[in-house]
Structure formats: structure tokens, C-alpha cells
Structure 1
Amino acid sequence: MIERLRARLSRPLHVAGALALLWALLRGLPVPTAVGCVLGFLIGRAPLTDLWFLLTHRLTGVRLLGVTYGRGRGLWCGTVAGVPVDVRLWPTSSVTLPWALLPSRAPRLRLWLGSTGMVLLHAGLGFWLTTSATALARGTGFGLLFSFALFALTRGRSLIWSLWPVFVLPFVGSEALVHELWTPHGFEAERLLLRGRIPEARTKLEEAPLAPHEAVTAAATALAQGRYQAAEELARAAVDHDWDNGTAHSLLGLAVVGHVDRGELSPERGAARLAPALAAFGQDDRAVLRGVLPAADLARLTNDPEAAVHAARRLRSGFRFSLWPALAGCSLAAALIAAGRPEEARKALARARRDCPELARIADVERLLQPEPKPVPEEAAR
């Protein structure tokens, strides 16, 4: 309940801050101070914490699964020191940094030091600038403090980018981190999977026993190889144990969609089995479902192909790295086929193949383009 409330606080607080700044300007606040407030807020909103994390994450035992900067059309996708990197056309104020915590010596102390350093940098810089002699610097300090207040109010229990490791982690047992730790081979498998190197990811997963929450990575690998029954079972195990529920529910839904695309389930039965997987996101919450790939497939299976095309196309441009854009490209192609636009579907599949050549779903959707065999007349059969 508290975490859901935190998520809803962000927008009202942004609006309140903007209105307060406008009111202060009308009451005679110097323009340089107002400009500094905006500048400080933009710096503190993401770039400051992103920079701190990039500089210190290895010291805290955290490793990067990938790095994404920008939005829109992809400019470059590759690896830097083994880390998948995706650079998009339009600049943004923040960097997307998916991460994993690996076993290390004194993990709680290292996480505490990293998080405390970030808090001191953010709040300390804000307080120091508010005492400056210039209006622009004072405004920047106020903006940093406002972004820090937002950070404190809206961030939940996270090992980084929250106050939880600063004030709570030192007083809980070491078992608090057990469900957060990745195995080295599970971590490498997730990196390989994000880059579309599916057989290598499966080989890594088979090297040694996995951490329980890495069932999500195993489910995604099985899905990518077209082992839909195994993917469904692994995703369901992750859902039952509440490990990474959002991704696990998406994988569960995509496994059902894979059965439909392969002809193992009718669209009607597939839609009926998809509904429980999407219920976890709130089936009436369209804002949430816009970011859930199986929701686009559900629209197709319930005879709304144009809505499916729109949703899959938006998701195709929003997903990072090679695997997920390729999956979204397959959903887009299937929706285009259902909408009677086969040439566009072929282009979508070609793009998915460029993104992730080894994705099994591409061949499954390609079969949907083939005309159904005409029934043989009884006379000819005799």
C-alpha cells in the first residue's frame, strides 16, 4: 500500500513545485534564482545520482547488466567492457542502468557507504549552494534540495537510489540480502540474453545451480528458444515465490502467446489464459498495461488488431537491447498479419531478425504469413 502511494506521489509533487515556483516569481523572486531552481532540480532529478552510481557501483558490489541513454530511434548498440550499451537518438536527463548485486565481502557495509555517500553528496551540495552569495547558485541549491525531498519521499525499498540502505539496512540481518544476490553465472547469462546470445545464455545457466530469483532469467531464455512449456513453468514458479513479479508475469503471458502463435492453442483459449497473467498489472489500468507486451497480444487475440498494432509499435521503440525489441517486433508482426497488412508484417519480422537472429518466435510468427492449405474436395480425395 505504501509503495503504491509512493508511486502516485511523484506527479502531484512535481505540479506543486512548479506552481510554488510560479507563485514565487509573481511575488518578486529574482529570475536568476528561479532559473537556478530549475537547473538544480534537473541536475538532482537524475544526472547527479546516475553519475555517482556509475563511479561507485563496483565498490558497492553492484554490477551493471546494461546501460541505455536517450530515447527513440537507436543510434548504436554494442558492448563496452562486456556491458551491453544502447544509445538512442533523443537525449534524456537520465541514464537507464539495470543492475545486479553479486556476492562480495561485507556487502551491507559497502552498500551503506555507497548510499550514504550519495545522500551526503546530494543533500550536502544543496545546503552548501543555498548559502552562496549569488542568486543563481542559491536557486540551484534550493532546486537540489527539492529534488532530494522528492527522492526521499517517492523512492521505496531499494538497495540503491533510496534511503532504505542508509537508515534500515544496518539494523537488519544479513538474510535481508539473500534474495537480492545473483550468482556469477546467472548474472553473465542475463547479460548474454539481453544481447540476444541465447544459446550462450542457456549454457551459462547450466553451469551451476541458480539463485531462486534467477528463474526469471531461465524463463526468458526458454521463451527465447521456443521452449514455451518450460518458460511457462519457470515463470509461474517465479510468480508463486514473488520474484521479480512484473517481468515474470510478462514472461508467463508471452509463453501463452507462443503456444498460440505455434498453433498449440486457439486464440480464444490463449486469451482466456492470458487474462490471469495480466491481472497482476491491473487489467483496468491502461497506463500500466501500455508498458506490458502481452497486453498488445491480448488485443490481437480478442479481435482488435489495430489496437494491437499501435501498442506493439510503441513498445517496439521503447524496449532496450536486442531480445525485448525483437519480441515486441514479433508481436507487431502478428498484429499486422491479423490486420491484413502482410508486407508490413514481413518488414517487422526482418527487423526483429536483425535485432535477435536466434529468437525462436520469429519462425513461429512467420508461419502465420503462410496461406492455409485449401481443403481437398471429396471427389479429388477419392
Structure 2
Amino acid sequence: MTQLLDIPYIDVLDPAFHFASPQISAAREQHWYARTPVGLLILRYQEAADLLADTRLSPTGSGHLALHGITSGPIHRYLGSNMSSTERDNHVKLRAVLAPFLSPRRLAEAKGLARTTAHDLADRLTTDGSPSDLMADFADPLALSLFCHLTGLPADELQPYGSASADVGLVFALSLNTELRHQVEHSLQSLFSYIEQAMAARRATPSGTDLISALMKTGLPTHQQTSFLVSVIMGGHDAPMHQLGCALVALAEHPDQWERLAQDPALIPGAAEESLRWSAHTHTLRFAVEDLEVAGLAMARGDMAAVCNWSANRDPRAFDRPDLFDITRPRGRLPLAFGGGPFFCPGSALGKMVIEVGVEALTQRYTAPATAGPVRWRPALAAAYGPQHLPLVLQER
């Protein structure tokens, strides 16, 4: 029986906390999970993969709301009825609505447009010695353009809500403070207002073939439809944008590997996979839907476990030389960046495509960039973690 003293404690609410710290690695070697002020933090790969596949755990939002005493308002509206927190039959129905828009055939057809868009955006970046913000000027519009092309949603309508969808990711930050909560509530409300207007327009013209029109045919309650669309916008735009940002940071820090990609673009899919392992854009929450025991750990219904992807994806039990960023790493275990089990992210292929076309366009046109000042990162506990501001100085080949 594991004694409480044998389990490491990590204060994830400390403003100075970050996942890529020696404390995390030391805790992983001590035990497969750590205690935190708000729940358990899963540190090792195999235990994390097992928990993600366990149907006795769910990403339902109700458990997270209870942690913060949120019982009404936009956050409650979203987390209480989004795709992850719906009952199983409706969850399956929502995934079925989304599936045709992210099918392998549709993604393959979209790749040419994605490459063209990435190269067009790369062409507009400054090369006069001043830095370009690769998030605002490249990753954001690239992810938005591809997402809107696939779903049939108008980019010009969604573009003003880009910062809103990024804020929505902070809903899952365990350190929600009053100021941050107001920011998230305002962003959510603006997204809900846009979606409600878009749905009203589709009702007036019901012959559309976009995602909203398909969703409205399901007969699901309106509150589930609107929350689902917020989830899709966040997962389809915000998450790929920030994962691309994570990949660009890693490559900028390893200029030799940037140049290898320029010389051999066939290595780009492996580089995308390695970036998902090296710096995952998310940390995955699971809540026990019943009392359970796993690997000697007893969890009561409602208990939370957060999979620390930064730690699990660098677990030496699962990966050789895990602290080495290597774009030629042999394919083996999948990084946990997209979750697992029945809630595996349906947009994983879209996320990888954004990384691949973005990295290809930049490495083909520019030499390995230099960072111009510190990279500003989003909060460590945000649902979509990544650079908020990525200033790079670019030079053409």
C-alpha cells in the first residue's frame, strides 16, 4: 500500500509553476502520480494511457465546475453541456456530425489549399531584420483558414473571435482567478452570441452544407449545439494554432534540425510527431464517474486526475532519450497530446496537418530563425498551451 509520504506534492497553483521543470521529472521518478491542490497529476506514460482509455473516467465538465463553485453563467453553460459532458448517446451523435468534415478524404483534398495558404502567409512575413510574431501573423490565420475551409464556416465572420476562442481554452485552467474568470466569461458570451446569430441565419436559409447546418438537423437541444460549436472552434482553430507554435519554438531552439527539414522535407511528418511529444499543447483532465481503483489508487466519484502530457511524453520508460528533441526519432508509442480512449480528439489529423504545412512553408523559405526577446507563453494550466507571442527574426534563403 502506497503511503501518503511516498507520493510527491506539486503546487500547480504557484504562479512560478511550469511543467518543464526539474521538479516534474523528479516527481515522475518518485511515483507515477503526484498530489496537487486540486487533484492528482499523472506523470508516467503507461498509467496515463491506461487512465485515458478507462471508461470509468470522463472529461465531463461538471467536476471541474464544482472545483470553482461555478453554478451559472457562460462557463457553466459551456462546460455543463459541451461535447465531452453530454451523455454517451449524444456524444456519439455529435462525433458523427463532425466526422464527415474531418474525414481522411476531405483532409486529403484540403491539403493543397493548406499548403498554398501557408506559403502565402510565409511570403508576407517581414525580413528586414525586425521580428515577426509567428503566432499572430502565421499560425493563427493558417489554422483559422484551414478550419473554416473544412467546416464551411466563414473565416471573415470567425476572425474577430480568434482571441475569444483562445480565451475559452483558459476555462480549464485550474488556477482561475476573478480577473481571468471575467475574461473567459466575456469571451464565451461573445462566441455564444456569434453562434446564435449564425444558427438563426441557417434557419432562415436551411439548405446549407456547413457544420452548423448539419448540426441543426440532429434535433439535439440548442444549448448542446451551441456548446458543441464552441468546443469545435476551440479544438479546430485554437489547439492547432498553439501546437504549431510549440513546434516552431522547438525548431527555433534546434536550428540544426530546422535546416535538416529544409534539406529533406520528407522528415516533416516525423518532426510534427516529435513536437507533439516534446511540447504538447494540452494537459488532459479526467473525472471519475464512479468509485474505482486503478494501479493501487482509489478514486471516488467526482475525483479529478490530470494527465501531465509534458511529463508522460518524456517518460524514459516509454521513450528512449526522452529529453532529446529529435525529428528523426523512430515512430513508436504515440504522444498523448490528443488524449486517448473514447474521447480521443477527432481533430488530431487536422492538428498534424497544420503543423506539417506550416513547418514546410517556413523551413523552405527561411533559414533557422533567431528569437527576438523572450517567448510569451499562455498560462501553464490552460487547455490550449503554447506561445501567445512568438517573435522570430527571419532571413530568406
Q: Which has the larger radius of gyration?
A: 1
Higher relative contact order (CA 8 A, sep 6+): 2
| Structure whose residues are more often helix by fraction | 1
- TM-score under structure 2 length normalisation: 0.25
- TM-score under structure 1 length normalisation: 0.25
